[in-house]
């Protein structure tokens, strides 16, 4: 009794509430039931919009206004319409998909090239004013993209790049590179400098150091950032919609926005397009998920 009250004074004894009066096995069942119920709520919350996308995509165009949980006459003909470009809104579907792919891959290449060189110079070669560069990069990372859209549009027009895929590519690369440099620097700190020293003793030049030591060891971070840049560019709407004007120069997100210009948009086709467009990035994300989580959270836990 004395020990108990002493423990209470120290504030370590659990407060005896109603919950503790419930017998142990009953408590376990209730707890498990709670976990399952919570899980079901999470499942519905997560899946509902995606499920909705999927079922609308298999609903015939004429039934799209039914608002049903399951379509009366499920069909795959919407996918056929999209893939064979058999609708006014989908005339340029394949070309737009190609544009999206071009911008995504080009952004990824530029970001990996520019950011890996910069992070190598800053953290391995200890370049002069490296910390200034890295802080300005961090500053850029913290400017919301949507806020710079207006002047960016004008500047691209001055550069004569308006309505070219390069405009969108440069925009995306500009906004992905700062984060890439930040992650690369965090990751680079985990690679021992002895490796560089050993290579230097063997007479490696800085470029050999970059190519033969730095890049191979940075592989996990490169995969994470490559995927990040690729998905950022693939998914971008605002800049694509501002910088690209005609249909054959657009990317898929802009094309999906065009659907909304009419009052009776063909939602079944829009959702079929949405599914086709969403599958590659989702598959990519899940296949490199391991790298993504560790890459994204590399700096986070230290912050």
Partner 1 sequence: MAAHAEKTAAAIAPERNRAHWTPELTWGAILLIPYITVFFLFVVWPVGYGVWLGRDPDSYRRLLADPVYLRTVWNTAAFLGIGVNLKLFLALILSAYFMSQRLWIRWLSILFILPWAVPSIPTILSFRWMLNSEWGMLNGMLWDFFRIEGPWWLVDPKLALGSAITVHIWKYLPFWTLILMAGRSAIPTDYYEAARIDGASRTQMFAYVTWPQIRNLYVTSTLLSTIWTLGDFNSIYLLTGGGPNELTHVLATLGVRYAFRLQELDMGVATVMTALPILVPLVFILIRRLGGRVE
Burial of 276 (0-12, 13-18, 19+ CB in 10 A): middle
> How many Å apart are CA 233 and CA 107, to the nearest integer?
7
> How many Å apart are CA 115 and CA 184, to the nearest integer?
8
Q: Which of 3, 23, 26, 303 lies at the binding interface for partner 1 (CB under 8 A)?
A: 303
Q: Does 53 bind partner 1 (CB under 8 A)?
A: yes
Stretch that binds partner 1, among 22-30, 73-81, 216-224, 275-283 (CB under 8 A): 275-283
Stretch that binds partner 1, among 75-83, 85-93, 119-127, 217-225 (CB under 8 A): 119-127
Contact, 76 vs 59, CB < 8 A?
A: no
Candidates 183, 199, 208; CA nearest to 116 is 183
Structure tokens at 17: 């509430």
What letter does residue 209 receive in the DSSP assignment?
I
Stretch that binds partner 1, among 76-84, 85-93, 215-223, 280-288 (CB under 8 A): 280-288
Q: Which of 101, 117, 199, 217 lies at the binding interface for partner 1 (CB under 8 A)?
A: 117
Q: Does 42 bind partner 1 (CB under 8 A)?
A: yes
Nearest distance from residue 145's CB to partner 1, in Å? 6
What CA–CA distances, in Å, run from 21 to 17, 18, 24, 33, 195? 7, 5, 9, 18, 61
Nearest distance from residue 286's CB to partner 1, in Å? 6
Q: Which of 105, 127, 215, 217 lies at the binding interface for partner 1 (CB under 8 A)?
A: 127
Residues 158-197, interacting with partner 1 (CB under 8 A): 159, 170-171, 173-174, 177, 181-182, 185-186, 189
User: How many residues appear in the chain?
Assistant: 303
Nearest distance from residue 21's CB to partner 1, in Å? 14
Q: Does 275 bind partner 1 (CB under 8 A)?
A: yes
Q: Which of 25, 67, 160, 203 lies at the binding interface for partner 1 (CB under 8 A)?
A: 67
Task: Please give the size of the binding site for partner 1, defined by CB under 8 A.
Answer: 109
> How many Å apart are CA 169 and CA 233, to the nearest integer?
7
Nearest distance from residue 231's CB to partner 1, in Å? 8
Candidates 175, 196, 177, 174; CA nearest to 185 is 177
> How many Å apart are CA 143 and CA 136, to the nearest integer?
11
Q: Does 297 bind partner 1 (CB under 8 A)?
A: yes
Spacing of C-alpha 250 from chain mean position: 20
């Amino acid at each position: 009794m004395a020990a108990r009250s002493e423990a209470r004074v120290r504030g370590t004894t659990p407060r005896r509430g109603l919950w503790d009066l419930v017998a142990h096995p009953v408590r376990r069942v209730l707890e498990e039931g709670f976990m399952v119920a919570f899980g079901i709520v999470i499942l519905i919350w997560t899946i509902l919009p995606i499920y909705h996308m999927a079922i609308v995509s298999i609903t015939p165009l004429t039934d799209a206004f039914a608002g049903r949980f399951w379509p009366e006459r499920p069909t795959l003909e919407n996918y056929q319409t999209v893939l064979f470009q058999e609708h006014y809104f989908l005339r340029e579907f394949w070309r737009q998909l190609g544009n999206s792919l071009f911008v995504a891959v080009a952004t990824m290449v530029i970001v990996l090239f520019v950011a890996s060189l910069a992070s190598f110079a800053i953290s391995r070669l200890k370049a002069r004013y490296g910390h200034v560069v890295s802080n300005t990069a961090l500053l850029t990372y913290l400017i919301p993209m949507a806020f710079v859209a207006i002047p960016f549009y004008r500047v691209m027009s001055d550069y004569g790049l308006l309505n070219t895929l390069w405009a969108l590519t440069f925009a995306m690369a500009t906004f992905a590179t700062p984060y890439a440099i930040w992650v690369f620097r965090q990751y680079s700190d985990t690679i021992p400098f002895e490796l560089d020293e050993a290579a230097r003793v063997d007479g490696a030049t800085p470029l050999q150091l970059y190519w033969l030591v730095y890049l191979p060891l940075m592989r996990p971070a490169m995969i994470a950032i490559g995927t990040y840049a690729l998905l950022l560019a693939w998914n971008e709407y605002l800049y694509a919609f501002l910088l690209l004007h005609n249909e054959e120069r657009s990317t898929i997100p802009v094309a999906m926005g065009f659907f909304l210009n009419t009052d009776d948009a063909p939602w079944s086709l829009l959702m079929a397009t949405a599914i086709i467009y969403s599958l590659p990035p989702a598959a990519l994300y899940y296949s490199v998920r391991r790298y993504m989580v560790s890459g994204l959270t590399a700096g986070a836990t230290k912050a």
